[in-house]
A and B are shown apart, each in its own frame.
Chain A
Amino acid sequence: MTGTERARDAGANIGYRQIGRPLIRTDAPGKAVGKTPYAGDYTMPGMLHAKVVRSPLASARLERLDVVAARALPGVVCVLTAADLPDRLAPTDIPGQTGQARLKTDQQILVRERVRYHGEPVALIADESRDIAERAAGLVEADYAPLPGVFDPEEALKPGAPIVQGEDNVVAEHRIRKGDVAAGMAEADLVIENTFRTQFIEHAFLEPEVGLAWVDENEVINIRVSTQVIEHFRGIADAVGVPHNKIRIRGALVGGGFGGKEDVTVETYLALLALRTGRPVRLEYTREDSFLGHGKRHPFKMTYRTGVTRYGRITALEVDMIADAGAYVFLSPYVLLYAVVAAPGPYRIDNLKVDARAVATNNMFTSAFRGFGGAQACIAYEQQMDEVAKAIGMDRIAFRRRNYLRTGDPISTGYPIQSAVWTEDCVDRAIEALGAPTPAASPVRIGRGVAAYQQSYGRLTFLHDTSEAWVGVEVDGTVIVRSGVTDIGAGQTSALGQIAVEILGVTLDQVVIYNSDSAVTPLAGTTTATRALYMTGNAVHMAAGAIRERFAARAAEAFGVEAREIEMADNRVFVAGRPELEMSFVDLVTLCAADGVHRSELAIFRAPFSDKLDPETGQGQAHPDYTYGAHAVEVAVDIETGEVTVLKSVGAHDVGQAINPAAVEGQIEGGAAQGQGYALSEEMVYREGELVTPSFSEYLIPTAMDVPQIKSIILESRSGIGPFGAKGIGEPALTPVAPAIANAVADAIGARVHDLPITPEKIVNAIAAAREKEEG
């Protein structure tokens, strides 16, 4: 079902033995036989079962909370309300690995008086069984007095709007002032303006949030949990009121994250209950809990005004964005910043004005989701590119070609992009791979669309990001990698293994990887922001490289050659052209062990450090680097019912260097499906703040019957700053897909639906409106 093409520089990959190969991932066989434990598969004797009691209203005052009956139920061990907790808040800022001073983003752990979103936790229960927990939750009595709430960001900015928290509803603002937009617009032959809207999206990872906590003999609160970030131990410790070294996060392999397990989810509740009861406590969210319990993707309203000459040169771009931050700040300021940096897309635009605000409402709070603002911006800029091309009567691709960013050009923040910008190649090859148009007869119309993108990999450079990894070689020649990196299913740990064994010259079956234990594995930072391969891959590269250097020196001594002549591959150590100089890797390790050569190394990789962007102009360096690529689709639209079938879906991405091509394809294919849902069928609907899509029956992600064959085209410029010249692919794989589909639908029906998701009904209405306009 997958087709893959890879473009390589001639000769560049010849020397690699392990990387660049679609090896079976180290975690795959255990998962396939059902042996791999996830966080919810652990149990302990005497374990209690926890449940979260939630507010049914979005904006209310909690007038009365009575847990007497719940506490009295036999089997209930502990019920906690805000009255039982110290007056402490839970920090919700960026994962605090850097210790940076945090924004004022705290959230109450349990509702004390004010309810701000539907599902906000009101009480925690721990008892002897799941059944009792459910019954006890039903016995909690609570009276809520509805309070006026606000459910739309633009409404929330109006004078007199209810304030969600603090002084006003503006949670974050960012702007860009680059060049001279007024002059640019004056120079333009045409100015085209469009407004695009996107919806709340749910991560829909298959594994709901879950964890198990216990207090050990050293008074350390251990938390086994499905998380993308083990560094949260700091924030959890602060929320619970214990020292930082008394929380240990033991991450499990994660059953899907996509940013939904980037914030603290169940950990604080578990820690509080374990501490209070003195017993192990397990908390597993139901799917309904999960939908109510973690932040969603920010809806954005984005207005783009593009000035263009009639020959297709963009002279100026003015962007206004407003994002719904929901009830609590979480990562909104950063999502907004990413959207602002991404606003123009992969195009050279010297006159740029961007104004963006994230605004609080009593909707569900919004936070990280694959793409992190960059995806929303792409939905706007790539639809706008098609609309502008149409307005000036120019071919959509020719118009893009006229404006592509190239290496050395300044991006939106003025930072000159250093790595390869292969947007043109990716766009051309994605479209080419669509092949001949599928024939169709009325009432079906075929449409094609493409979207190009710029998506960062690596976190904001002013966060001073670092990542650590330890690599060691045992006396029998087997290899161990230890790193805090969390593996959320994209092969994060397996890639590290591939890098280590490539450098050490052994095979992947020789390595075992230990990860995600905040007490024992060196902290690698979050698995977010498409940073794991870049940051931790580089750290492993450094650590393995240091060992290799020492080993090569010892081998050179043994062989009587220069160290640079030593080659290590396929579990052997040799000198090219000298067949008599050869030994097994194990023999070399034995020599090294005997001589006291240090067989392990701890390395720390530091991303480039920069200052924050200028607050007035948004100029500076924002990210370490960017990935470029494109996605193209062909759709069939039934113009009478509005139903859309995606016939062909092709992603072409320059990933720098594919460490594991099968894993890269996996990201492209998975991103294609997620993007399809984003474009066509997914929407979390809040009515006056109340979630009315509470399960997978109402929230529709694509099934095997919805997704077509997906083709992956992997380009490798080797220009990235990750290991072996790699860039990142996790988020980039998703970013261009929804706009490509939006463009294809517009191509099919000759009209545009500006608000996602593009439902059949919206298509029917858009066609009718266009027809009326034509006839009127």
Chain B
Amino acid sequence: MIAEFELETPDRLDAALALLAGQDAGAGAALAGGTNLIVDLRSGRESPARVVDLGGIDALRGIEVGADAITLGARATVTDLLTSPEIAAHAPALVEAARVFAGQMVRNAATVAGNIACGSPAADLVPPLMTLDAEVTLASTTGERVVPLAEYFTGYRADVRRGDELITRIRWPRLPESSVHGFHKLARRKGDAITVVGVSVALSVAGGRCSRARIALGAVAPMVVRAPKAEAMLEGVALTPALIEDAARQAVEECTPIDDIRATAAYRRHCVHVLTRRLVTAAWDRLV
């Protein structure tokens, strides 16, 4: 491919941030796994003057289980998620998403931060992270800030990250004991395909009632979205099939799918309904 850029390979995070600092928006791009950026460089969709290769920075990998929260280093790969016993125990929907994420080679390189940063509404790790109430830490030479993932995206491939910022950590509070975290991806083939509809549901139960409900919808809006009204219908009550059905219908109202080459908006709405109902029902049946 042809693309003109200066390639920098810092070995420390602060050096990387310094390289990105003072750049005009879009002038510098961070290279992690390369599974999106290299494709975009080749097609000309991205044409940064400088590429900062984060491959030499060890500090950004790792999965930590704390007393209250789980923390992922930004450069944890999708394979890291797929093979992590901690993630299997504490965020199984992330393992589910990792399983259906592209193919082995892409999984071995692609990073969690990269999947968030690409801003695609079809990014498969985002719905499971959103239902965990994940937060993203953005670092720059001027300091750090934490943004809830639910507030990170502002539109189609648009987010709050500044050009001089890097995602360094993703963190979420541990789910309560009686919780189920699920994800289902619907696509036009089983292996390595762009998501048509992706739904994640996280349900917790306490005292026979649903104490926490999160629904996140992928590929059915300009960005991954939650379905807060549907969630509100489920929280604080014991779930029944009728209630779940109503909440699933409500979730359909909280997304705005389009027609594209993979499916029509009508089909996507239909599947949001079906998948939300199924995931909530499956979770509830496991918990009570």
Contacts and interface: CB of A to CB of B under 8 A. Distances in A.
Given A643-B186, A685-B261, A700 B193 contact: yes
B147 to A, nearest CB: 30
Interface in B185-202: 186, 188-194
B271 A641 contact: yes
Interface stretch (B50-58, B127-135, B262-270): B262-270
Interface in A622-664: 640-641, 643, 645
Contacts of B1: 134
Nearest to A680: B189
A703 B2 contact: no
Interface stretch (A99-107, A384-392, A462-470, A691-699): A691-699
Nearest to A134: B2
Given A135-B2, A764-B270, A700 B261 contact: no
A640 B197 CA distance: 14
A774 interface: no
B262 to A, nearest CB: 8
A643 B271 CA distance: 11
Interface string A559-601: 0000000000000000000000000000000000000000000
A216 interface: no
Interface string B244-288: 000000000000000001011001001100110000000000000
Contacts of B270: 764
A703 B271 contact: no
A640 B272 CA distance: 11
A703 B188 contact: no
Interface in A672-707: 680-681, 685, 692-693, 697-698, 700, 702-706
Given A640-B274, A641-B271, A706 B2 contact: no
Interface in B167-207: 186, 188-194
A641 B2 contact: no
B192 A703 contact: yes
A484 to B, nearest CB: 37
A681 B193 CA distance: 11
A764 to B, nearest CB: 6
Contact of B191 (A643, A703, A760, A761): A703
Contacts of B267: 760-761, 764
Contacts of A702: 189, 191
A697 B261 CA distance: 11
Nearest to B274: A640
Given A640-B274, A641-B186, A703-B189, A761 B264 contact: yes
A616 interface: no
A706 B188 CA distance: 10
A131 interface: yes
Which of A685, A692, A706, A761 is the most central at the interface, judged by chain B CB atoms within 10 Å of its CB?
A761
Chain A interface main SS type: loop
Contacts of B186: 641, 643, 760
A704 B188 contact: no
B188 A681 contact: yes
A692 B190 CA distance: 21
A702 B188 CA distance: 10
B271 A706 contact: no
B188 A693 contact: no
Nearest to A640: B274
A703 B100 CA distance: 12
A698 B263 CA distance: 12
Interface string A199-233: 00000000000000000000000000000000000
A759 interface: yes
Contact of A704 (B191, B261, B263, B275): B191
Q: On chain A, which size bracket covers the interface?
A: 20 to 34
A135 B189 CA distance: 36
A77 to B, nearest CB: 18
A759 B270 CA distance: 15
B188 A759 contact: yes
B190 A705 contact: yes
Contacts of A764: 267, 270
Q: In the complex, which of the residues B189, B191, B194, B267 has the most CB atoms of chain A within 10 Å of its own CB atom?
A: B189
A680 B189 CA distance: 9
B221 to A, nearest CB: 19
Contact of A131 (B2, B189, B190, B274): B2
B191 A705 contact: yes
Contacts of A640: 274
B33 to A, nearest CB: 17
B261 A698 contact: yes
Contacts of B263: 759, 761
Given A131-B2, A641-B274, A703 B190 contact: yes
A693 B260 CA distance: 11
Contacts of B271: 641
A706 B190 contact: yes
A693 B2 CA distance: 23
Contact of A706 (B103, B189, B261, B264): B189
Contacts of A703: 103, 189-192
Interface string A744-776: 000000000000000111001000000000000
A761 B194 CA distance: 16
Contacts of B274: 640-641
B202 to A, nearest CB: 21
Nearest to A701: B189
A641 B270 CA distance: 8
Contact of B189 (A685, A692, A700): A700
A217 B136 CA distance: 66
B265 to A, nearest CB: 11
B191 A693 contact: no
Nearest to A138: B2
Contacts of A641: 186, 271, 274-275
Contacts of A704: 191
A306 B1 CA distance: 55
A681 B189 contact: yes
B67 to A, nearest CB: 38
Contacts of B103: 703
A283 to B, nearest CB: 17
Contacts of A693: 261
A697 B270 CA distance: 24
A697 B194 contact: yes
Contacts of A685: 261
A134 B191 CA distance: 32
A390 B154 CA distance: 54
Nearest to B44: A138
Interface centre among B2, B188, B261 (most CB of A within 10 A): B188
A698 B190 CA distance: 14
A182 to B, nearest CB: 43
B199 to A, nearest CB: 11
A709 to B, nearest CB: 15
Nearest to B264: A761
Nearest to B275: A641
A125 to B, nearest CB: 14
A68 to B, nearest CB: 21
Nearest to A131: B2
Nearest to B193: A700
A203 B264 CA distance: 26
Contacts of A698: 261
Contacts of B191: 702-706
A692 B188 contact: no
21 contacts: A131-B2, A134-B1, A134-B2, A640-B274, A641-B271, A641-B275, A643-B186, A680-B189, A685-B261, A692-B261, A702-B189, A703-B103, A703-B191, A703-B192, A705-B189, A705-B191, A706-B191, A759-B263, A760-B186, A760-B188, A760-B267
The 7 closest A-B pairs by CB, nearest first: A703-B191, A705-B191, A705-B190, A761-B267, A700-B189, A640-B274, A681-B189
Interface of B: 1-2, 103, 186, 188-194, 261, 263-264, 267, 270-271, 274-275
Given A704-B191, A759-B188, A760-B267, 8 more contacts: A680-B189, A681-B189, A693-B261, A702-B189, A703-B191, A706-B189, A760-B188, A761-B267
